Structure 1
Amino acid sequence: MKSGGEKHSDEGAQGGNVFDLDRLRQLIELMESHDLTEINLRQGSEKVQLRRGAEQVFAAPAPTVAAPQPVAPSPAASAVAAGPVADGANIVTIKAPMVGTFYARPNPQSETFVKVGQRISADTVICIIEAMKVFNEIPAEISGQVVSVLADDQQAVDFGRPLFKVDTSA
């Protein structure tokens, strides 16, 4: 035995391999007893990397928060899509494009972004949704007259929750 715990290649090794099967089994037992998931060893030009599969836990990816981009309506739009959704006879529901806190006004002392009866255009900011400390201005994406406001100021909203109803014929 050399100092430092190294073995000569002819002691306890098969065919000169310092990392023989018995030694690898010992290392695996060591990993299990100490709850290790990986060991990297090198001796001379020999390298061994052992990995023990830990229980895999799958989690949903964290939502990405970015300023919403206007989206052109597509024929294959899903039924739960956020943004404007036609309710029938020219009434369109604007839905939350993300999960967060709905703000009807830019700050507590200001008037609301929009009021019932107000005409809006596609680029009119109708509310702010705060998600992960980021305040996202939400544009109407449609033109028309606001028929109703369906969310309360500072209310938590989910993706796809109805926020406004707009008459597009007005």
Structure 2
Amino acid sequence: MKFESDYIEKLAKIIADNGLTEISLEDGEQAITIRKDLPEVNMLASAPAAMPAAVPAAVPASSPAAEAKPAEAKGKAITSPMVGTFYAASSPEAAPFVEVGSTVNVGDVVCIIEAMKLMNEIKSEQAGKVVQICVKNGDPIEFGQVLMYVE
């Protein structure tokens, strides 16, 4: 049986209607995968699960620096839920999501972490004022690394 175009269109509609980014089906010898290409993707719960293999080797090297900063900083730490690259803005030309002194609300995007070619929005879990940003644009970051503090 060949996948008909109306069947493929129905699959694409399922992706759009349910907020999915990918769907795969297999029927005997045939298989189809449909992906929705997004410039920015909200962090998925399964994304951190794919990353822990790199954590044990990398965390000890960054622990001394991470331990020194919390003593100086006040407020709640926003930490990285994954290994990736930190971006302060949605594009090189755009203004940063937040700067020191910016006011944020719960759910506001504070940065993007690129992991495996996916842009993951990191949102504030606390309302307040950004008092310290601990990483620079383009820095490689580790799982659990402090990105910034909100007070």
2:83 to 92, 96, 99: 99
Which of residues 102, 105, 108 in structure 2 aligns to 1:118? 102
Corresponding position: 1:150 with 2:126 = no
Percent identity over paired residues: 41
CA deviation after TM superposition for structure 1 residue 141, in Å? 1.2
The TM-score with structure 2 as length reference comes to 0.53
Matches within 5 A, 1:37-52: none
When residues 109 and 93 of structure 1 are mapped into structure 2, their CA distance, relative to the original with a 3 A threshold, is same
Correspondence 1:17-166 to 2 at 5 A: 67-68=43-44, 91-166=75-150
Consecutive unaligned residues of structure 2, counting only runs of 5 or more, are: 1-40, 46-58, 60-69
* Structure 2 Cα separation of the partners of residues 147 and 162 of structure 1: 13
Structure 1: runs of 5 or more not aligned: 1-64, 70-79, 81-85
CA distance in structure 2 between the aligned counterparts of 1:106 and 1:92, rounded to whole angstroms:
24
- CA drift of 1:93 comes to 0.9
Give the CA deviation at 1:91.
Answer: 1.0
Letter of the aligned partner of 2:99 in structure 1? Answer: K
TM-score by length of 1: 0.47
Report the Cα distance in structure 2 between the residues aligned to 1:100 and 1:145, rounded to whole angstroms.
25
Structure showing greater radius of gyration is: 1
Following the alignment from structure 2 to structure 1, what is the Cα–Cα distance between the partners of residues 125 and 146? 14
> Which residue type is aligned with residue 119 of structure 2?
F
Q: Is the 8 A contact 1:100 1:158 kept in 2?
A: yes
Aligned residues: 88
Q: Which amino acid aligns with 2:128?
A: G
